Amino acid sequence: MIIFATMTKKKKILFICLGNICRSPMAEAMMRHLAAEAGRSDEFEIASAAVSEEEWGNPIYPPAAEILRHHGIAYDGQRIARQMKASDYENYDMIIAMDEANIRGIQRIAGGDPEEKIHLLLDYAGEHRNVADPWYTRDFKTAYEDILKGCHALLATLPPSKSK
């Protein structure tokens, strides 16, 4: 018996920030939420990581978790920060940075960007600038709005899978 399966390769997206406790976990949760709202969850594998090892093993920063909760966005509280590995470059289709310094860090870890996988999140929204970093400003609302804008635009850029 031949089983016809609609095998569509998932698009693997890795969001990156400096510590992987604020911006990139927010982006991970928000992108998953937007994909689910659009009925497209099964098209993506979404994760996040850090360029630094500063926060390795730490959970999402409480104010970042709080603003997600405030907007009804689920976040798996079990997940902890990790640093990006060179092999992530091969494993993911898109490596999405929150700021320009992250891009330099990703390139250092990956040894360049031969497949042009590394992108700045807000470029998708037509704004070549960094996501507001809430670490020193404590402004999680502006960071949330920037990330939401970028994730919306990123999802709109990715064509829906043909298996639907």
User: Which of the residues are catalytic?
Assistant: 17, 23, 133
Could you say whether residue 47 binds ligand 4NP (CB under 6 A)?
no
| List 13, 14, 22, 125, residue binding ligand 4NP (CB under 6 A) | 22
- E strand residue ranges, the chain: 11-17, 44-50, 94-97, 118-120
Contacts of 47 (CB under 8 A, 6+ apart): 12, 13, 14, 15, 28, 92
Q: What is the DSSP letter of 134?
A: H
| List 53, 54, 66, 90, residue binding ligand 4NP (CB under 6 A) | 54
| List 21, 73, 103, 106, residue binding ligand 4NP (CB under 6 A) | 21
- Picking from 158, 46, 27, 49, the residue whose alpha carbon sits closest to that of residue 102 is 49
- Measured from the CB atom, the residue of 89 and 140 that comes closer to ligand 4NP is 140
Closest residue to ligand 4NP using C-beta atoms: 19
Q: What is the C-alpha separation between 73 and 147, in angstroms, rounded?
A: 13
- Measured from the CB atom, the residue of 35 and 102 that comes closer to ligand 4NP is 102
- Measured from the CB atom, the residue of 43 and 98 that comes closer to ligand 4NP is 98
Contacts of 137 (CB under 8 A, 6+ apart): none
| List 13, 15, 23, 68, residue binding ligand 4NP (CB under 6 A) | 23
Residues that bind ligand 4NP (CB under 6 A): 17-23, 54-55, 135
